[in-house]
């Protein structure tokens, strides 16, 4: 299992402009997906594989902490 604090589902989903429904469709229930996004439960490797494919990113990107530069860049994108 992956530590909940490492999960970046919400951040990546929003950058991609996708809804929760679009990401979880056929993978898990929306309720369970919400819990995963909020890091209320651990995400297993099966879900990581499915979500990485759906979001078009590597598993590493889903669980790796962004650099400070990336975090700042994302904040600027949200502002502008």
Domain ranges (residues) in the chain: 8-78
Is the entire prediction scored with pTM above 0.85? no
Helices (H), 1-80: 9-16, 20-24, 30-37, 45-55, 59-63, 68-79
At the topology level, CATH places domain 8-78 in: 434 Repressor (Amino-terminal Domain) (1.10.260)
Q: What is the pLDDT along the chain (80 residues), one digit of tens a residue?
A: 544 445 799 999 999 999 999 999 999 999 999 999 998 888 899 999 999 999 999 988 888 766 555 555 665 666 66
């Amino acid at each position: 299992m992956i530590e909940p604090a490492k999960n970046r589902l919400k951040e990546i989903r929003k950058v991609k402009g996708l809804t929760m429904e679009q990401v979880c469709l056929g993978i898990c229930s929306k309720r369970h997906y919400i819990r995963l996004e909020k890091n209320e439960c651990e995400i297993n490797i099966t879900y990581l594989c499915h979500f990485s494919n759906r979001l078009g990113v590597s598993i590493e990107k889903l669980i790796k902490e962004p650099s400070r530069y990336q975090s700042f860049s994302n904040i600027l994108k949200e502002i502008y």
